[in-house]
Amino acid sequence: MPELPEVETVARQLAPLIQGRGVLSVHVYDPKLHALSRQRLAGDAVVEVRRVGKQVALRLSTDRWIAVHLRMTGRLIWRPGPARGGERAHLRLRLRLDGGSLFFFDVRRFGTVQIFADLEALEPEGLDPTSRRFTTSALTQLLQGGRGAIKPWLLRQDRLVGLGNIYCSEILFEAGIAPARPAGSLTSPEIQRLHHATRSVLRRAIRACGTTFSDFQDARGLTGSYQHYLKVYGREEAPCPTCGATVRRIEQQQRSTFFCPTCQR
């Protein structure tokens, strides 16, 4: 499932391709998205593309927002021409714009496309860890009293938004914090390290255009490269890149967590 860096990558790549283009029509190929076919979008224009939480959001000139949640296998691809032959089976939506189309392909069909009257309506509850509001003191407040383990705590979207399973393992490794530590037990130097690690792992992952595991492809149909930089995720039994100890895998709430028992305390 794409996490924050992958969604950010798609939004950043789409922005220069479709910002400023007028909307000609919308074509819905999946009954699950039929609510969109009732929307009058023709005559509107795309004025901004950005990531909001884990969604790619298109602001229209009427100030409405089209928000796309890619979920497992959703892909947003800009093409000047029609969809290619092999892609058509998975086409769920086509937004025809001046000079081309934005296609939404989705093999497993868990993705969503919705229209919102304003930005507030689509903004997630959790704090965005790339935003200015994400400070050490904001993180300290969020962690206060947290009894559950820090790894599943980081995955919860109502506190911090956009962190998924891959980056949570990487962030905790970078911060030197054991994944089973109760969230509320972190000391202030540890919270500072966690804050710094969250920022730096996300920044590097965005720079690498995200991580490609199974299906993620960015807006150009290419794949990210952050998988080459992963230090613990998916590296069970491999040596820790820092100390050489064996990387271990545990399950926390049915999700795999990878960590170094020596470096992470």
- Catalytic residue positions? 2-3, 54, 255
CB of 246 to Zn ion, least distance (A): 9
CB of 243 to Zn ion, least distance (A): 3
| Alpha carbons 182 and 148: distance in angstroms, whole number | 5
Q: Are 239 and 247 in contact (CB under 8 A)?
A: yes
Q: In 3-state terms, what secondary structure has residue 220?
A: coil
CB of 235 to Zn ion, least distance (A): 11
∠ CA(157), CA(131), CA(257), 5° rounding? Answer: 40
- Helix (H), strand (E), coil (C) string for 39-97: CCCCCCEEEEEEEECCEEEEEECCCCEEEEECCCCEEEEEECCCCCHHHHHHEEEEEEE
| Alpha carbons 21 and 23: distance in angstroms, whole number | 7
Total Cβ atoms within 10 A of residue 132: 7
Q: Which is nearer to Zn ion, 124 or 241 (CB)?
A: 241
DSSP state of 107: S
Instruction: Enumerate the H helices of the chain as residue ranges.
Output: 4-18, 119-122, 136-143, 150-155, 165-175, 188-207
Q: Which is nearer to Zn ion, 227 or 262 (CB)?
A: 262
Q: Which is nearer to Zn ion, 44 or 174 (CB)?
A: 174
**Chain positions contacting Zn ion, by CB under 5 A:** 240, 242-243, 245, 260, 262-263
Using alpha carbons, list the distances in angstroms from residue 191 to 93, 148, 163.
Answer: 43, 16, 16
Q: Which is nearer to Zn ion, 28 or 201 (CB)?
A: 201
Q: Which is nearer to Zn ion, 35 or 245 (CB)?
A: 245
CB of 231 to Zn ion, least distance (A): 9
Dihedrals phi, psi of 28, to nearest 5 degrees: -105, 125
Dihedrals phi, psi of 258, to nearest 5 degrees: -110, 135
CB of 240 to Zn ion, least distance (A): 3
